[in-house]
C-alpha cells in the first residue's frame, strides 16, 4: 500500500450518488429501441442493451437490421435523459457522507472516474455543486466507449496522467472498480454500502470501508 496518496479517485454511482433504479433504466432501453424503430425487443435484448459488450450490441442490432452505432447513440440519449429526470425528481441522491471528502488536503488531487456517461456525470456535478472535484471522466457515448469501461483502466489512467498523480487511491463499490485499480497499478478502497452487502470480490482490495468518512484517515 502506497502512502501518502497524492490523489483520490472516486467511482460515482453507489459511491457519491445513489444508483439509478434498474427498472427505470430498463424502461429507458425500451425507449432507445423505439427510437430506432424496434418496437418488439425481447426481454433478454433489453437487458443486454443495458450493459453490452461491443459484440453483443452488434448481435442485437443485427437481429433487428439496425445500425449498432445508431442503436447505441439512442441508448445513451435515453440513459442520459432518464438519469437527469431522476436527479431532478430527487430520486437519484447524493450520499450524506460525501461532505467528508469535500475538504481533502490541497495537495491531494481528486477525480471522478465512472462507467456512466460523461454528460451524466456533468449533470451530477452541476446538480450537487461538487466544485471540489478537480477532474471528471465518464464514458464517451460511442461504441468505442464500451471497450473503455472499467475494468479496463483507460479512464483511470487518463485521470492519473492529467492529475500528475504517482500514488493514488480509487474508491469504488464494484468488482470492476477493484479490478480497474489493480490494472492501473493503484490501491482500491471498496466501499461496502447497503446495496453491496454480502457481495464477493475477485481479489482483496487494499481497504474495505463502510463510509467515505474513513477516507481522510487513509491519506
Give pLDDT tens digits for 173-199.
Answer: 999 999 999 999 999 999 999 999 999
| Mean pLDDT for the stretch of residues 152-161 | 97
pLDDT tens-digit readout, 27-55: 999 999 999 999 999 999 999 999 999 99
Q: Pick from 114, 27, 121, 13: which is nearest to 75 by CA?
A: 27
Contact 139, 115 (CB under 8 A): yes
Query: What is the set of domains in the chain, with CATH numbers?
Result: 7-18+93-218 (3.40.50.1000), 22-88 (1.10.150)
* 53-72 mean pLDDT: 98
Amino acid at each position: 500500500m502506497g502512502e501518502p496518496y497524492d490523489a483520490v479517485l472516486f467511482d460515482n454511482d453507489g459511491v457519491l450518488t445513489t444508483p439509478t433504479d434498474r427498472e427505470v433504466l430498463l424502461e429507458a432501453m425500451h425507449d432507445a429501441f423505439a427510437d430506432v424503430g424496434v418496437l418488439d425487443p425481447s426481454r433478454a435484448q433489453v437487458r443486454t442493451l443495458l450493459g453490452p459488450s461491443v459484440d453483443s450490441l452488434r448481435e442485437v442490432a443485427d437481429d433487428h437490421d439496425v445500425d449498432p452505432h445508431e442503436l447505441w447513440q439512442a441508448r445513451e440519449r435515453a440513459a442520459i435523459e432518464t438519469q437527469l429526470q431522476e436527479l431532478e425528481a430527487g430520486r437519484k441522491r447524493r450520499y450524506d457522507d460525501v461532505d467528508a471528502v469535500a475538504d481533502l488536503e490541497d495537495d491531494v488531487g481528486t477525480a471522478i472516474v465512472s462507467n456512466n456517461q460523461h454528460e451524466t456525470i456533468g449533470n451530477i456535478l452541476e446538480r450537487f455543486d461538487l466544485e471540489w472535484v478537480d477532474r471528471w471522466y465518464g464514458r464517451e457515448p460511442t461504441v468505442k466507449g464500451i471497450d473503455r469501461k472499467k475494468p479496463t483502466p483507460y479512464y483511470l489512467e487518463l485521470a492519473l496522467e492529467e492529475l500528475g498523480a504517482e500514488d493514488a487511491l480509487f474508491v469504488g463499490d464494484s468488482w470492476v472498480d477493484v479490478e480497474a485499480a489493480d490494472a492501473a497499478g493503484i490501491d482500491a478502497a471498496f466501499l461496502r454500502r447497503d446495496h453491496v452487502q454480502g457481495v464477493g470480490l475477485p481479489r482483496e482490495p487494499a481497504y474495505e470501508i463502510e463510509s467515505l468518512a474513513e477516507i481522510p484517515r487513509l491519506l
